[in-house]
Structure 1
Amino acid sequence: MIEKLPFGRTGHNSTRTLFGAAAFWGTPQAEANKTLDLLLEYGVNHIDTAASYGDAELRLGPWLKQYRDQFFLATKTEKRT
């Protein structure tokens, strides 16, 4: 398993390795599901996405429904907050 560390003040312990969902730009759902299954297998529990990552959020949604309590989902907007 991958080492986990506290993620800021969120109370979540994130794996030192996270998954950048920009990789799903133009990826079919079946292929995205296989990739996400590997996250479970290796214990990665932090996913980073953004609206600017094409269809990434659409690929994450269906798969993540059944595993939502196992992941920290980080997202970004184009605006500074």
Structure 2
Amino acid sequence: MRSTTQRWLRLLPRPRRSAGPTPAFPIERYGLEGAFWLYGDVGDWLDDPERRVLLLDAQRSMESVPSLLGVSGHLLTIAKHDQ
């Protein structure tokens, strides 16, 4: 049996592609909070300089891992267009 997160991630739309072999726009997705929004004391972590560094380093290492995007409370999708 699949977890709810695994089922939800299967429903995430794939980046749209042009008729050619490359994407119309390069698309990047980021989880803005990761699992840290589940911490009851995340504000305390951010207020403490030493713990803030640990929290932000951990989040940066996981922010764009596709299998972990579903755990974040907010997602950011960026499409870059070269002119």
Kindly indicate which of the two structures has a greater share of residues assigned to strand. 1
Q: Work out which of the two has the higher radius of gyration on C-alpha atoms and give 1 or 2.
A: 2
Q: Which has the higher contact order (CA 8 A, sep 6+)?
A: 2
TM-score, structure 2 normalization: 0.28
Kindly indicate which of the two structures has a greater share of residues assigned to helix. 2
TM-score, structure 1 normalization: 0.29
